[in-house]
């Protein structure tokens, strides 16, 4: 028996919705003559796999500053983004001619090219982190603006931050001291997580239209994949997909075409075929069994679609993978 729980909450970006899907499966079982029930809750991840473009923040370096005496750091500009998080005391600066004050835990993101003067005060502590922002895709990297042009500097701040910034920087520093093969990957993933937590707390009206559009596309693609995952064992109709996403069939078709160049039904078929291919290898199931599990009409229909999408028949696919 399979149950599905759906929780809907407002997204931090625009007026989209996040749908968290929990696939709950109950298995009757028997151990040592005792009847048991095992409940498996499968929490599905948000995914951006398959998108043409993906937003990627890249960490450059960070500093921990402790001020010994009152002073000003003269006017300067940065080539990359600069994140400032107040740790002890109030951080003050002049940004593009506007005076700003950050209380403990609040943060500011300075854009490349902003005019910036720090006003340091004795015993004040804060963190500074530099990062770049780009779009990664099949055609290479592209630049991306986080903020709209000409916004008031106050919109580049968060006044209600609940982030545990000190803990993040302590862990990041620990990782920077490691020199193994995985350290750089861990650093990048740590900062990417932290970055999206920061963006969640920024005013939505401050973000550039391109950034918002791409974020909403990633959100839509993630929710669509979640629905595909929960219905991968059946031949779901386009009307059902649209209903689950709370949008019209026309909007669904437009978004699928924009993001993947596919119709909703073809995108769902692609998803099921790729999942079926994984099962053929990992579960050691027959082609007939796999076809039935993923809701295809019959093994012949399954094999025909498999060859269209994967470029070879299921038998050829299994044989090629075994040889590899």
CA distance 23 to 230: 7
**pTM, 2 dp:** 0.65
**What is the tens place of the pLDDT at every residue in 36-73?**
566 655 554 444 445 556 788 988 999 999 999 999 99
Query: Is the pLDDT reported for residue 199 higher than 80?
Result: yes
pLDDT in tens, 64-101: 999 999 999 999 998 899 999 999 999 999 999 999 99
Quick one: which of 323, 322, 314, 317 has its CA closest to 288? Answer: 314
Nearest to 200 by CA among 167, 162, 172, 226: 162
Q: Angle CA(156)–CA(161)–CA(165) in degrees, nearest 5?
A: 100
pLDDT given at position 310: 92
CA 269 to chain centre: 24
Q: How far is CA 201 from CA 23, 71, 227, in A?
A: 29, 30, 27
Identify the CA nearest to 249 among candidates 240, 257, 258.
240
Q: How high is the pLDDT of residue 33?
A: 57
Complete domains list, the chain, with CATH: 53-206 (2.60.120.10), 231-324 (1.10.10.60)
Q: Of 74, 67, 199, 43, whose CA–CA distance to 131 is shortest?
A: 199
> What is the per-residue pLDDT across 126-145, written as a single tens digit (0 to 9) for each?
999 999 998 876 556 678 89
- CB of 90 closer than 8 Å to CB of 121: yes
Query: Are 55 and 213 a contacting pair, CB within 8 Å?
Result: no
Whether the CB-CB separation of 43 and 226 falls below 8 Å is answered with no
Q: CA-CA distance, 243 to 262, in Å (whole number)? A: 19
* Rounded CA separation 268/286 (Å): 22
Reported as a single tens digit per residue, the pLDDT across 264-322 is 999 999 999 999 998 888 767 789 999 999 999 899 999 999 999 999 999 999 888 87
Angle between helices 314-323 and 299-310 (to 10 degrees): 60
pLDDT of residue 140: 60
- What DSSP state is assigned to residue 147? B
Q: Which position has the token pair 């696939």?
A: 23
């Amino acid at each position: 028996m399979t149950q599905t729980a759906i929780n809907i909450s407002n997204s931090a970006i625009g007026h989209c919705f996040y749908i968290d899907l929990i696939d709950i499966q109950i298995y009757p079982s028997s151990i040592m003559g005792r009847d048991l029930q095992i409940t498996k809750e499968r929490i599905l991840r948000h995914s951006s796999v398959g998108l043409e473009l993906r937003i990627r923040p890249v960490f450059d370096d960070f500093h921990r500053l402790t001020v010994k005496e009152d002073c000003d750091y003269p006017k300067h500009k940065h080539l990359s983004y600069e994140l400032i998080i107040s740790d002890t005391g109030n951080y003050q600066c002049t940004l593009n001619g506007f005076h700003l004050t950050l209380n403990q835990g609040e943060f500011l993101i300075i854009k490349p090219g902003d005019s910036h003067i720090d006003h340091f005060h004795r015993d004040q502590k804060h963190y500074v982190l530099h990062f770049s922002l780009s779009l990664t895709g099949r055609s290479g990297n592209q630049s991306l603006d986080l903020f709209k042009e000409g916004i008031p500097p106050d919109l580049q701040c968060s006044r209600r931050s609940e982030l545990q910034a000190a803990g993040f920087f302590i862990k990041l520093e620990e990782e920077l001291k490691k020199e193994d093969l995985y350290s750089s990957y861990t650093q990048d993933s740590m900062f990417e997580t932290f970055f999206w937590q920061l963006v969640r707390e920024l005013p939505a009206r401050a973000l550039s239209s391109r950034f918002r559009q791409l974020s909403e596309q990633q959100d839509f693609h993630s929710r669509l994949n979640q629905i595909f995952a929960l219905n991968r064992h059946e031949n779901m109709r386009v009307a059902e997909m649209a209903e689950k996403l709370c949008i019209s069939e026309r909007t669904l078709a437009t978004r699928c075409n924009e993001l993947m160049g596919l119709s909703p039904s073809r995108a769902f078929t692609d998803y099921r075929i790729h999942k079926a291919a994984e099962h053929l290898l990992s579960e050691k199931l027959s082609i007939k069994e796999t076809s039935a599990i993923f809701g295809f009409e019959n093994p012949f229909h399954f094999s025909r679609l498999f060859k269209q999408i994967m470029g070879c028949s299921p038998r050829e696919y299994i044989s090629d993978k075994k040889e590899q």
